[in-house]
Amino acid sequence: MKIFSLFLAVILFSSCSLNQKSINRSFNRSLYVANYLNFAFGYNAKADFPKIYQAVFASLNEIPDDVLEKVTNTRHPVLFTVNITTGIARWANSSEVNLAINSEHVFQNGFYLIKLADELENTSDTEAIEGIVLHELAHNYLDHLKKQKFSCDMEREANREVKKWGFEEKFLKAKKMFGSKERGDSPCHDQTATSLP
């Protein structure tokens, strides 16, 4: 797996004059998202994982403005990485995130990491991948990981949020392609809440 160094991207992104207080529809959203993904997903992601990159790019281009604002807030940004689940790397792999930067505006409150399986690259329908990305963005938007307890209600709430944003079709594609197929495949088959790692 190629190791991503975010050092230069963080410096570049933190020095950009992007307004974090509000997202203005008059700007070039696609360019904004592309620049953000250079920072939050790494420069090589587009070439190394084109389908996964396209799904993340499309999701960020389509989410509501307030969600994009939260996701791209550099004080606590959402970062993306591909989790290698095939080949020898399926046993262990690593990603490098360099935080040794001299910027008081970046990562002040940590970051939220969305790990996407490399097997998603084998998916024929990128909208199904978008459904996965949107679901994970909904968890971030709803601050689920800050609650310290996992529950199936959180999963359902994230699903409802994705639908509320207008992405029911993408949600249904993800559910059909990746949804839990049998007991033991999903923690939501259990009725008790579990602590988050």
Q: For the segment 140-151, what is each residue's pLDDT rounded down to a tens digit?
A: 999 988 887 778
Contacts of 113 (CB under 8 A, 6+ apart): 78, 79, 80, 81
User: Is the pTM for the entire model greater than 0.85?
Assistant: no
Q: What is the pLDDT of residues 95-154, one digit of tens each?
A: 554 444 556 667 777 788 899 998 999 999 999 999 999 999 999 999 988 887 778 888
Instruction: Specify the amino acid at residue 184.
Output: G
Residue 123 located in a structural domain: yes
Considering only CA atoms, which of 140, 149, 134, 150 is closest in space to residue 60? 134
CA distance 16 to 72: 12
Count of domains for the chain: 1
Within-domain flag for 21: yes
Tell me the residue range of the domain where 73 lies: 7-180
**Quick check: is 185 in a domain?**
no
Within a domain: 189: no
- Is 78 in a helix, a strand, or coil? strand
The answer to whether residue 194 sits within a structural domain is no
CA atoms of 196 and 110, how far apart (whole Å): 17
Could you give the CA distance from residue 188 to residue 192 in angstroms, rounded to a whole number?
Answer: 9
176 vs 188, residue with greater confidence: 176
* Residue 112 resides in a domain: yes
Residue 49 in domain: yes
Query: Is 2 within the bounds of a domain?
Result: no
Mean pLDDT of 29-53: 90
* pLDDT of 54: 97
